[in-house]
Amino acid sequence: MNIDRGNTVSTLESGWDAFDLKLIKILGTILAIILVVSTYLHFWVPEVFRVPQTPVPDNTFWDMLFMEVLTLVMSFLCGMHCYRNFGPYATMLFFVGSFVFTGLMENLMIITGRFGLIPFESYYFNKGGLTLFFEVPTSVCLGWFVLAYSSVYIAGVIFPKSGAVARAAIASFICMDIDLWSDPIMTNPANMFWTWLQDRSATTHVFSIPLYNFVAWFGIIFFFEVLWLKTQGWHISIGKEKATARFFLWILALIAIYLAMVIGLELLIRATLPHVNYTIGGV
Amino acid sequence: MSEHKNRSWFDSLVAYSPILALLLGWITLAGKATKIDNPYIWVVGLTTIPALLAIVYSGIVVYRQARRQGPGAES
């Protein structure tokens, strides 16, 4: 079976074993509980997370449902692709890992900024779906999974002989490149999917978006994909239970390290770069 | 997975799904960009050309591999 055009993965188990089934039950239950509680808090008790009540265009029930269904369908298809190429265990790790890693990173930036726990305010989501993972729409977390998986696959197709680090770097560049356009579009008053809270005079902006955002986009995909690509052999060498525990411990460690790096980067940008907005025609 | 032959449309859809997902994402962005009054948003859109080329090129590579390996061997 020709599994991977990179050189990290060579063999896989095609079927589900008892550990896979146990893992999907545990992870699925935890995620479901978080989604139900978060959605309840966001819509019915917004004062808990101090949810901003900003009126935004095109944010009806049907708009949100469409967004949710679209990302679910794309996630399902990409999940099937991952399953067929890497097997159930690696797919679960990629799905839950990317969902949790990017979701928690976004939540930490949003909530710590909102409650004044970091030196600057960050951003918040205005819309994006019917359910939430704490303060991040589920559709955004699913979008991260789709983006991360698709980009690493495409990187492997284009550069089949690349190693894990190079492949993750190429994938991260693709994602960051797309975000150079996506952030100005999505934050424009005509769309308002999310809102940046930093004052334009407080830090360096590119296309009216804080510069650190683009670096953070590169990093968040890069770190997760390196970890996932390196993980592939773990369950063979140390067993699935230990490999899973090690994977999620690395996820938590990377979140802490990465959060510190992003905050440090923004403070460095503020201290060293001119506080100007580099735009093209005002975008 | 080259051992399966004569796959259904769903198998082909899955095989191209990472490429389609990014392409659909780019088209969705273009749709949202039409709501913005400032035409320079399309000039900023030119920055995504490297990503767009990567997406399209990978689609061509997967298609050619599938053609070489026979029907339904895209992934």
- Distance from the Cα of B6 to chain A's closest Cα (Å) equals 16
B45 to A77: CB separation less than 8 angstroms, yes or no:
no
Residue A239: pLDDT band (50, 70, 90) is confident
Residue A58 phi, psi dihedral angles, 5° rounding = 50, 55
Residue A2: predicted pLDDT: 39
CB B61 within 8 A of CB A159: no
Which pLDDT value is given to residue B7?
A: 77
pTM, rounded to two decimals: 0.89
Which of A2, A147, A283 is closest, CB to CB, to B40?
A283
- As beta bridge partners, residue A124 has A195
pLDDT at B72: 54
The ipTM of this complex is: 0.88
| CA nearest to A151, candidates A186, A109, A209, A102 | A102
Residue A229 has pLDDT above 70, yes or no: yes
Q: Is B4 on the interface with A (CB under 8 A)?
A: no
B14 shares contact with chain A (CB less than 8 Å): yes
Whether the CB-CB separation of A78 and A151 falls below 8 Å is answered with: no
Cα gap A168→A261, rounded to integer Å: 18
Give per-residue pLDDT as tens, A123-144. Answer: 999 877 789 999 999 999 999 9
* Cα–Cα distances in angstroms (integers) from residue A260 to residues A135, A255, A263, A272, B19, in the given order: 20, 8, 5, 18, 33
**Contact list, B26 vs chain A (CB under 8 Å):** 178
pLDDT, tens digit, 9 for 90 and up, residues A141-159: 999 999 999 999 999 999 9
Write down the domain spans for chain A: 18-278
Tell me what the pLDDT averaged over chain A comes to.
90
Summarised one tens digit per residue, pLDDT across range A82-119 is 999 999 999 999 999 999 989 999 999 999 999 999 99
Residue by residue, DSSP assigns A25-93 as HHHHHHHHHHHHHHHHHHHH-TTTTT------SS-SHHHHHHHHHHHHHHHHHHHHHHHHHH-HHHHHH
Q: What is the pLDDT of residues A31-55, one digit of tens each?
A: 999 999 999 999 999 999 999 888 8
Residue of B nearest to A3 (CA): B1
Below-50 pLDDT ranges, chain B? 1-4
pLDDT at A278: 95
- Mutation site, A13, A77, A158, A193, interface B, largest B CB count within 10 A: A77
Using the predicted structure, report yes or no on whether residue A3 has a pLDDT greater than 50.
Answer: no
Size of interface A-B (CB pairs under 8 A): 119
- Inspect the interface and report whether the beta carbons of B19 and A180 lie closer than 8 Å: no
Map tokens 């948003």 to a residue. Answer: B41
Residues 6+ apart with CB under 8 A from B75: A81, A84, A85, B1, B14, B15, B62
Return the pLDDT at B3.
46
- In angstroms, the Cα distances linking A25 to A18, A145, A179, B16 are 11, 19, 34, 29
| B40 → closest Cβ in A77, A146, A282 | A282
The whole-angstrom separation of Cα A236 and Cα A232 is 8
Contact A275, A202 (CB under 8 A): yes
Is it the case that residue A1 has pLDDT exceeding 60?
A: no
Cβ within 8 Å, pair B18-A85: no
Q: Which of B1, B24, B58, B61 to mutate to test the interface with A (most CBs of A within 10 A)?
A: B58
| Chain B contact set for A149 (CB, 8 A) | 18
